[in-house]
Structure formats: C-alpha cells, structure tokens
Amino acid sequence: MGNSMKGRWTYTFWKEVRVRLKGIWVEPSYYVTQILSGHGNFKEKLKSFGLVEEDKCKCGRKETTQHILEECDRWKEERAEFLKEKSSIHKYLISKEWFTNLVNFANKVMLKKEEEDLLEEDREDSD
C-alpha cells in the first residue's frame, strides 16, 4: 500500500473488499455514498476542489464527513435518533438493521444540509 490518502475514509469502514461484499444489505444511495466515501457535500472536500472558499461548518469547526457523523452539535438530535451508539460508527455496517439506521441518518441530515446550503447560496447571490 502506498502513501496515497485516496480511499482512506472508506477504508476505515472496510479494510478488505471481500468483507464489504459479505454485507449484501449495504445498498449505495446518493446520501449514503457521500457518507461512506467522504466525497460529497462536505466543506472540506468542496474546498479541496476549489468549489468553496471556507472549509468551516456552521458550528465553526472544519466540516468533514467524520465531523457530521460524530461531532457536530447541529446534528445532535438526528444522531440521537438514528445513531444511538456514538462509540463506533462502523457498527452501522454489520447488519441490515444497523445499516438502516445509518441510511436514515444520512438521508435526513444530508438533505437538510443540502437545503440549508442552497438557502445560504441564494442569500449570498441576492446580496
């Protein structure tokens, strides 16, 4: 393995492809894929592509996938509702029941985040 950071976030979930393939309940979707790959509507990723100037979340911390999943107070209610055991996000990939919780979290949070970001862009465009 080289020094490339590509795929490092996804690697934290699955160290080997064959392990991922055993999880037949893992069905990629628009929002879940963003969470599992780290490639999506996260300010840190968007800044790396030159699409936004700041990589900060509305809470003031760097907005990464891990921040959204495990840290940001903005999503505390959703985390409490769906991700009941903060101790190990990887637990949400070991069974269909747990994965469904991750899907519900991703759908609710990422859609809400997307809507908030669009409203913010509209406000900036009208200024």
Residue 108 lies in a domain: yes
Residue 127 lies in a domain: no
CB contact burial 98-116 (16+ within 10 A = b; e otherwise): bbebbbebbbbbbeebeee
Residue 1 lies in a domain: no
pLDDT in tens, 110-121: 999 999 988 887
Residue 3 lies in a domain: no
> Range of 23's domain?
8-121
Number of domains in the chain: 1
pLDDT in tens, 26-56: 788 899 889 888 888 999 999 999 999 999 9
